Structures are given as C-alpha cells and as structure tokens.
Amino acid sequence: MMDRKMLLGKIMCLDQNQSLVELEDSRNKCASIVEMVEASLKMKESCNSGNNNNLKTLSKANYKPYGIDFPKATPTGRFTNGQTVVDILGQLLGFDEFIPPFANTTGYDILKGVNYASGSAGILPQSGKYLGDCISLNKQRLYNNSSARKFALVGLGQLGYTPSVISLYGINGINKVNLKVQLFNQNLISLVDKLNAKFSDAKFIYVNTSQIQSSDNLSSLGITNFKRNCCPTTTINLCIPSSATCNNRTSYFFWDKVHPSEAVNKFTANRSYTSLHASDSYPIDVKQLAQLQL
C-alpha cells in the first residue's frame, strides 16, 4: 500500500534565484537542512502556494498572469502559470486536493499536510531579504517538528540557462553557474548515501532534476523555447501585473525569468514519480519510495 502520509519530506536545497555566493556557501551546508517532516510538508520557493500573499514583500505571485492555467484561472500565489511540481506529485500520490499553504491552514487540516514554501527564501537567513519579508528556511524548520521517514532530495536544474542568470552574468556565466550546480548535485548524491547509511529506519532518494529537465527530453513534448520567458518581467524577474503572455505557453520552459512553466512542472513531476531512466533518480523513484514499508 502506498504511504502518502509520511512521504514528501521534500527539500530542494536551492532555487533559481539564489546567488553564486550562496550557491557556493550552501553547497557544503546541505546536510544541515535535512529535517523530519510529516504528511506532505515541503520547503521550496518555486513550490510556494500562497504563503507570501500576506507578507510585506515584492516576491508575490497572487496576481495575473500568474495562475492563468490554474483551475478557474486563479492567481493563488504560485510562481507559475498553473500547477507546481508538488501539486502534481500530490495528485500522483493520491491526494484529493491541492496541498494548502500553511498561512491559510488551521485545525485538523494541518495534519493532512501543508506547504511551508515561501517565495525568495533560501538556505541562508539573508536570502531574499532585499525583496521584503519571507519565511526563511530556519523559520520553516521551526514550523515543522515531526517524524517523516521518507525524503526526496531534489537536485538543482541547470540554473545557468535561466533568463535571470543570463541577464545578470551573460552567456559567459552559463558554464560557471552550471559547474557549481554540478558540484552541488554531486554532494547531494553523496549526502543521500550518508543519510541512508546513518538512518536505517528512514529512506532518502535523490531526484536528478538536471537530467529530467534536459532539452532533449523536453523537446519531444513540444517544449522548444528554452531561452525566453513567457511573460514580460519586472526588474526582480517576476511577471508584470496583468501583462500579456506568449501565445503558446506549453512550448516555453520558463514562465517568468526564474520559474518553470506548468508544462515543465508536469513533466518533472511525472518523471520524478516514475523514472524512465535509471539516472532520473537514485537509488529509487518517488513511487517506489512511497510504496516502501518502513
């Protein structure tokens, strides 16, 4: 039987908006952020489902065109045009409803699983502070104190190709950033091995986002625009409110200058859940993780 209740202690150590300095600094700190979480608790800025809506911050996505492809075309605070990876994984795991943001959840519903992700937050306390308030990783850890035994540690994608990085560092910065991503992911795989050896009553896996989101894989699905973002953006790389978007949203990798489109999220979630190649996840995929009896 699939164990949903204690699966997604899902951590994504970094996100596309983090600086090279933070990437380098946090590469050796990944082990310190592994926390025991229950139900479907997760921490990632790109998977924010509305925790920033009531914060004093510029990092918000509760306005159109965000959510244009979400049910009822509602901008919920998700940093994409539709569903996030966690939304889709939740459905694959059998959840009947979207995992709600912690900020809007009370009572018994919290026990079913909540989303602690906060836009612009990262590993380091100062992450995203120039944009205003956010729920830092330390605060997310304080909010969460429980005992999940199954974790998917999700590696970084090729951040060097994001429009925001190219705008900041130019084409010459692509390889520099991606090299740091590669080093980080290698350390993350090593961390998975160490954690599995140390905690015999738990299971950790690594999801190879870089492999899953390769252009060869996505091109076969009609995702062909990897260089431009679908919506016009502000100086902080988010969509301009009420702006017109690209005509074919399903063909774009990037929604704004930082975050992937729903089309990419769907592909990533499905390949994370059921690996097509052995290199997609290690040592098993999310579906196999959910089915483990611990």
- The whole-angstrom separation of Cα 86 and Cα 208 is 16
∠ at Cα 177 (171, 180), nearest 5°? 155
Residue 82 has pLDDT above 90, yes or no: yes
Residue 12 has pLDDT above 50, yes or no: no
Edge-first strand order for the sheet with 150-154 is 42-43, 10-11, 150-154, 203-207, 281-282
Answer yes or no: are the C-beta atoms of 42 and 150 closer than 8 Å: no
Nearest to 48 by CA among 18, 12, 24: 12
Q: What is the pLDDT of residue 100?
A: 59
Going along 128-283, which residue ranges are E strands?
A: 150-154, 203-207, 225-229, 252-254, 281-282
pLDDT tens digits, 237-266? 999 999 999 999 999 999 999 899 999 999
Q: Characterize 153-190 residue by residue with b for buried, 16 or more Cβ atoms within 10 angstroms of its Cβ, and e for exposed.
A: bbbbbbbbbbbbbbeeeeeeebeebbebbbebbebbee
Nearest to 50 by CA among 39, 38, 66: 66
pLDDT tens digits, 180-211? 889 989 998 998 999 899 988 889 899 999 99
Question: Quick one: pLDDT band at residue 32, thresholds 50, 70, 90?
Answer: very low
196's tokens = 């599995």
Q: What is the pLDDT of residue 208?
A: 95
